[in-house]
Amino acid sequence: MDSWKKAVVAGSVGTSAILFLKKKWPAGVLTAGVALAVLASEYPEKFESLQAELPRYFQSGMRLMEVVSRAGQKISRLAERGGEGIWDEISS
C-alpha cells in the first residue's frame, strides 16, 4: 500500500475515533467510511470474502442476542419473586 493511502487510513481512523468519543456520530461514521473505502480499493478480494460471510456473522449475532434476552428475562422474573428459589432456577 502506498504511503499516502496509509496516511489517509490512519488519519480517518483517528479522526473517526475522536468524533465518536465526542459523540458526533454522523461525522464519525463518515470518516470511518473514508478509511473503509480506501482499504476496499486496495484489497478488493478481502472485502468480497467478507461480504460473502456477513450473513453468517449476523446470524451468529442474532443468536447471541436471543440468549442474552432470555437470560435478562429470567433475571427479571427472579428479581420480581424477591429471590425465592434462586438456587433452583440457577441449577436447572
Q: What is the pLDDT of residues 40-68, one digit of tens each?
A: 999 999 988 888 898 999 999 999 999 99
Find, among 67, 14, 76, 13, the residue nearest to 39 by Cα. Answer: 13
Instruction: Provide the whole-model pTM.
Output: 0.57
The residue written with cell numbers 429471590 in the block is: 83
- Over residues 62-75, the mean pLDDT reads 92
pLDDT band at 36 (very low <50, low <70, confident <90, very high): very high
pLDDT at 27 over 90: yes
pLDDT greater than 70 at residue 87: no
